[in-house]
Amino acid sequence: MCGIVGYIGPYQASDFLVEGLRRLEYRGYDSSGVVTIDDGEFTVTKSTGRVDDLVEKLKAHPARGSIGLGHTRWATHGPATEVNAHPHIGGDNVVALVHNGVIENFRELKQQLAERGYYCKSATDTEVVAQLVASEIDARCTAPNGAASNAAFSAADRYSALVDAVQAALSQLRGTYGLAMVFRDWPDVIIVARLGSPLVIGVGDDEHFVASDGSPLVGHTDRIVYLADHELAVVTTHSIRVIHRDEGDVRHKVNRLDIDTTQVELGGFPHYMLKEIFEQPETVTAAIRGRLNRDEATAVFGGLNLTAQQLRSIDRVVLTACGTSWHSALVGEYMIESFARIPVEVEYASELRYRNPPMSPHTVLFAITQSGETIDTLAALREMKRKGHPTLAICNVVGSTIAREADGGIYLHAGPEVGVASTKAYTSQCVVMALLALYFGRMRDLSFDAGLRIIDELAALPKYVEESLECNNETRRIAAKYAACNNFLYLGRQFNFPTALEGALKLKEISYIHAEGYPAAEMKHGPIALVDKHTPSVFIVPQGGVYSKVIANMEEIKARGGPVIAVVDKDDSQAVELADEVIHIPTVPEFLQPIVAAIPLQLLAYHAATFRGCDVDKPRNLAKSVTVE
Ligand code: M6R
Residue 465 resides in a domain: no
Residues 99 and 243 in one domain: yes
In a domain, 457, yes or no: no
Residue nearest to atom 9 of ligand 1 (CA): 323
Average pLDDT over residues 160-171: 95
Ligand 1 centroid – CA 625 distance (Å): 7
DSSP 264: G
* Same domain as 138, residue 115: yes
Q: Which residues are catalytic?
A: 2, 624
Mean pLDDT of 538-567: 95
Atom of ligand 1 minimally distant from the CA of 425: 3
| Whole-angstrom distance, CA of residue 582 vs CA of residue 424 | 23
Q: What residues make up the domain containing 541?
A: 470-618
Same domain, 238 and 223: yes
Q: What CATH number is associated with residue 167?
A: 3.60.20.10
Q: Which of 353, 374, 376 has most ligand 1 atoms within 8 Å of CB, for mutation?
A: 374
pLDDT per residue as tens digits for the range 228-251: 999 999 999 999 999 999 999 999
Q: What would you report as the CA-atom Rg of the chain, rounded to the nearest whole angstrom?
A: 26
Query: What CA dihedral angle connects 606, 609, 611 and 612, to 10 degrees?
Result: 180
Residues 113, 34 share a domain: yes
Please determine, for residue 155, whether its predicted confidence score (pLDDT) is greater than 70: no
Residue nearest atom 4 in ligand 1 by C-alpha distance: 369
Average pLDDT in the chain: 94
* Cα of 102 from ligand 1 centre, angstroms: 19
Ligand 1, atom 7, residue with closest C-alpha: 323
Interval between CA 166 and ligand 1 midpoint (Å): 33
**Is residue 568 one of the residues assigned to a domain?**
yes
Residue 196: pLDDT band (50, 70, 90) is confident
Among 237, 262, 287, the domain-final residue is: 262
For the CA of 421, the nearest atom of ligand 1? 16
Q: Do both 271 and 417 map to the same domain? A: yes
Same domain, 272 and 251: no
Residues 35 and 51 in one domain: yes
In sequence order, which residues have a C-beta less than 8 Å from that of residue 359 and are 6 or more positions away? 316, 318, 387, 389
Mark which of 262, 280, 298 sits at the end of a domain. Answer: 262
Domain count, the chain: 3
Instruction: Give the chain's length.
Output: 629
Residue 262's pLDDT is what?
84
Contact assessment for residue 318 and residue 353, using Cβ atoms and an 8 Å cutoff: no
Secondary structure, 3-state, 348-362 = EHHHHCCCCCCCCCC
pLDDT digits 0-9 by tens, 4-24: 999 999 999 999 999 999 999
Cα 345 to ligand 1 centroid, rounded to whole Å: 19
How far is residue 152 CA from its own chain's centroid?
47
Instruction: Report whether pLDDT(149) > 80.
Output: no
Q: Are residues 430 and 303 in the same domain?
A: yes
602 alpha carbon – ligand 1 mean position (Å): 14
Residues lining ligand 1, Cβ inside 6 A: 322-325, 369-371, 374, 377, 420-422, 509, 625-626
CA–centroid distance for 559 within its chain = 42
Please give the single-letter amino acid code of residue 366: F
3-state secondary structure 127-158: HHHHHHHHHHHHHHHECCCCCECCCCCCHHHH
CA dihedral sign of residues 453, 459, 461, 463: negative
Q: What tens digit of pLDDT does each residue of 551-564 get?
A: 999 999 999 999 99
Last residue of a domain, one of 387, 412, 446: 446
Model confidence, pTM = 0.88
- pLDDT at residue 147 above 70? no
Does residue 319 form part of some domain? Answer: yes
Ligand 1 atom closest to Cα of residue 423:
16
Q: How far is the CA of 535 from the centre of ligand 1 (A)?
A: 26
- pLDDT at site 623: 82
The reply to whether 129 falls in a domain is yes
Phi, psi of 516 (to 5 degrees): -125, 135
What pLDDT shows up at residue 144? 47
Tell me whether residue 27 is in a domain. Answer: yes
pLDDT tops 80 at residue 221: yes
Q: What pLDDT, on a 0 to 100 scale, did the predictor assign at position 151? A: 52
Band (362; pLDDT cuts 50, 70, 90):
very high
Residue type, 389: H
Q: What is the mean pLDDT of residues 275-297?
A: 97
Q: Which atom of ligand 1 is nearest to the CA of 323?
A: 12
Q: What is the Å distance from ligand 1's center to 113 Cα?
A: 37
| Residues 568-615 pLDDT 10s | 999 999 999 999 999 999 999 999 999 999 999 999 999 999 999 999
Instruction: Please state the rounded mean pLDDT for residues 207-218.
Output: 95
State whether 597 and 555 are in the same domain.
yes
* Residue from 26, 320, 353, 371 to probe ligand 1 pocket by mutation (most atoms less than 8 Å from CB): 371
Q: Which atom of ligand 1 is nearest to the CA of 420?
A: 14
* pLDDT at 446 (0 to 100): 96
To test the pocket of ligand 1, the residue of 370, 402, 506, 508 to mutate (highest count of ligand atoms within 8 Å of its CB) is: 370
pLDDT of 152 strictly over 70:
no
Residue 208 placed within a domain: yes
**Ligand 1 atom, smallest distance to 429 CA:** 3
Tell me: do 51 and 192 sit in the same domain: yes
Residue range 395-424: average pLDDT? 94
Query: Quick one: pLDDT band at residue 28, thresholds 50, 70, 90?
Result: confident
Pocket test residue of 325, 405, 499 for ligand 1, highest count of atoms within 8 A of CB: 325
Separation of CA 66 and ligand 1 centre (Å): 36
The enclosing H or E element of 224 equals strand 223-226
Alpha carbon distance 171, 136 (integer Å): 11
Residue nearest to atom 12 of ligand 1 (CA): 323
Q: Do 541 and 517 reside in the same domain of the chain?
A: yes
How far apart are the C-alpha atoms of 292 and 416, rounded to whole Å? 24
Mean pLDDT of 432-448: 96
Residue 154 lies in a domain: yes
Instruction: Examine the domain organization and report whether 314 and 375 are in the same domain.
Output: yes
CATH number for 316: 3.40.50.10490
List phi, psi (to 5°) of 588. Answer: -135, 165
